[in-house]
Amino acid sequence: MIRFKNLLLFVVFLHFFSTSHAQVKKSNTSATSPAQPKLVVGLVVDQMRWDYLYKFSSLYGNNGFKRLLQQGYTCENTMITHIPTYTAVGHTGIFTGSLPAIHGIVGNNWYDKASKKSVYCTDDSTVNGVGSDNEQGKMSPRNMLVNSVTDELRLSNNFQSKVIGISLKDRGAILPAGYSANAAYWFDDKEGKWISSSYYLTSLPSWVDAFNQLKQPDAFMSKDWSTLFSASKYELSTSDDMPFEAGIPGEKTTSFPHHLGNIKEKKYAAFKYTPFGNTFTLNFAKAAINNEQLGKNTVTDFLTLSLSSTDYIGHAFGPNSVEIEDTYIRLDNDIASFLQFLDSSYGKNNYLLFLSADHGVAHNASFLNSHNESAGTFSTKDLIKEINDSIYKQFNLANVVEKMENSQLYLNPDVFNEGEYNSLVINKTIISIINKKSFVSQAFDIKLIQQALIPAYIKSMSLNSFFQARSGDIQIIPKAGFYDGGKTGTTHGVWNPYDAHIPLVWFGWKIAPGKTHREVHMSDIAPTISALLNIQMPNGSVGKVITEIIP
């Protein structure tokens, strides 16, 4: 009996302790936070593989990535559930909670069969550039067919919230900011300044003109890009100046130091291939926050912020280069500085920030081959020519394949309308040709995807991405490690984890430290923000709320 009473007392004590502990933990994350955040920052690092959070951590400081991981909540197994894994599709997916089959952004580009022209995701001939007279300003979000979480925020309070989108890439600024943004700004790499379009503004605000007058890109490009630390510190990279590196446009070598001052032609385009493009973007974001008085309203404001230089550098040098390692060390410092700026502007618990990526990136095929891994490249141009030659020889039909975009073949409907052959017969023949290629895992007729003998996971990603008016006719799934490209540099776009596994870290307002290894999806981000802000989720959202971070 005594033992039973002691046991009972112990259980009661344990229950009381655990309950009290849970209550204290909850109060620590909410009692010191306001009812709503002053500002939400959606920070997307273009082409950031999930493993970059940890791979270079020995050279990270304590106030950048490490602070986000230690003080924030990280979803370690965040996956993209669509293909292709490209910039426009990823940014749209993050902020709409939707899929290409619904939001319509099926790639950075797609082919329009009716006009027989390629369409760029944010092209809009009905608008004009603001701050620029060239074609780089003729952009808007009109090709996106659903709204974003930023639109829902503005709808929730009769458009009192301010929303601004910023990125070197037009698509990285425009698509996240949504339809009703107060402004979106992107980099004109012909003139070296921030611009917008008449979709948003009639003229640039005076503060943007003043920022452009600082000519920061010119200052950055007048100096060398040298490694931040001594060369011996870069133990997680290949040797510098590898033959499979493409380098910075306009530069004759691919090794450190990069003499940026020697690049005279198209120097602003080259500027994007330096880590200073990220610094420049964050400097502009700080100026936007100050001059637009973001977070100083009675309602929540939203800044969408995409860092593009990581993508340009990654494409040129690959994920195993000294350049990428140095870029992420510098980005760690830039993020630390930005967090400190937000702390001083709002207080540590008054802003909500999430960090994620639009996609990852593949290892360079030659690099993998040098380590006895299966990998390779192929040529879209050569594949199209071979298919068209073969179909002409067998069926006397010319130019059946018009275009290849997003690993999809677009077939010429005029050929079938005039010919005696059924399109299914031609499609089957083309698929047979493709499936014999050493770099192909599977090719199938997209409209007959339910019959395709492919894993359910890949089938689901393909279905998530099929939009009748914009998608192609035949989908090609390359083997792991294979991609369309040359021997130098690398790319992304496929279903594999190196492209589809992305970071997702929540930080700040009402976010308790922690992590989960449960699989969550890119499309879960927008509905989770909606739940945190008590607003409706975007109108095309299919994602689920990540309940672990909801207080």
Residue 213, pLDDT above cutoff 50 = yes
Sorting pLDDT into bands at 50, 70 and 90, what band is 419?
low
Residue 273, pLDDT above cutoff 70 = yes
Cis peptide before 257 (omega within 30 of 0): yes
Mean pLDDT of 4-19: 40
287-333 pLDDT tens trace: 999 999 999 989 999 999 999 999 999 999 999 999 999 999 999 99
Phi, psi values for residue 520, rounded to 5°: -125, 170
- pLDDT at position 489: 96
Residue 11, pLDDT above cutoff 60 = no
- pLDDT at position 418: 56
Q: Provide CB contacts within 8 A for 179, sequence distance 6+.
A: 141, 144, 147, 148, 151
The three-point CA angle 489-491-492 to 5° equals 160
* Amino acid at position 305, single letter: L
Measured distance CA(160)–CA(156) in Å, rounded: 9
Q: Nearest-CA neighbor of 538 among 546, 529, 547? A: 529
- pLDDT at position 549: 96
Contact 44, 357 (CB under 8 A): yes
CATH class of domain segment(s) 39-369+495-549: alpha beta
Residue 25, pLDDT above cutoff 80 = no
Residue 32, pLDDT above cutoff 80 = no
Alpha helices for 110-258 (secondary structure H): 149-156, 170-177, 206-213, 216-221
Residue 223, pLDDT above cutoff 70 = yes
The catalytic residues are 87
More confident residue, 21 or 316: 316
Name the least confident of 46-60, 84-98, 331-345, 416-430: 416-430
What predicted TM-score, i.e. pTM, was given to this entire model?
0.93
Sorting pLDDT into bands at 50, 70 and 90, what band is 24?
very low
More confident residue, 54 or 18: 54
Strand ranges (DSSP E) for 291-416?
301-307, 351-356, 376-378, 401-405, 408-411
Contact 363, 498 (CB under 8 A): yes
CATH fit for domain 376-479, picks 2.40.10.120, 3.30.70.360, 3.90.1530.10, 3.30.1360.150: 3.30.1360.150
Q: Where in the chain is the domain with CATH 3.40.720.10?
A: 39-369+495-549
Strands 163-167 and 301-307: parallel
Residue 484, strand partner residues: 378
Mean pLDDT of 376-391: 96
Residue 356, strand partner residues: 44, 504
Strand ranges (DSSP E) for 389-439?
401-405, 408-411
Coil/strand/helix, residue 431: helix
Sorting pLDDT into bands at 50, 70 and 90, what band is 438?
very high
385-394 pLDDT tens trace: 999 999 999 9
Mean pLDDT of 159-182: 98
- pLDDT at position 451: 86
Sorting pLDDT into bands at 50, 70 and 90, what band is 114?
confident
Mean pLDDT of 16-33: 42
377, two tokens = 């490249």
Buried b (16+ CB within 10 A) or exposed e, 176-197: bbbbbbbbbbbbbbebbbbbbb
| End-to-end alpha carbon distance in the chain | 42
- Percent of the chain beyond pLDDT 70? 93
- pLDDT at position 404: 96
Average pLDDT along the chain = 93
Strand ranges (DSSP E) for 170-252?
183-188, 193-197, 224-225
Contact 162, 182 (CB under 8 A): yes
Q: Nearest-CA neighbor of 363 among 241, 244, 185, 214? A: 244
Residue 533, pLDDT above cutoff 80 = yes
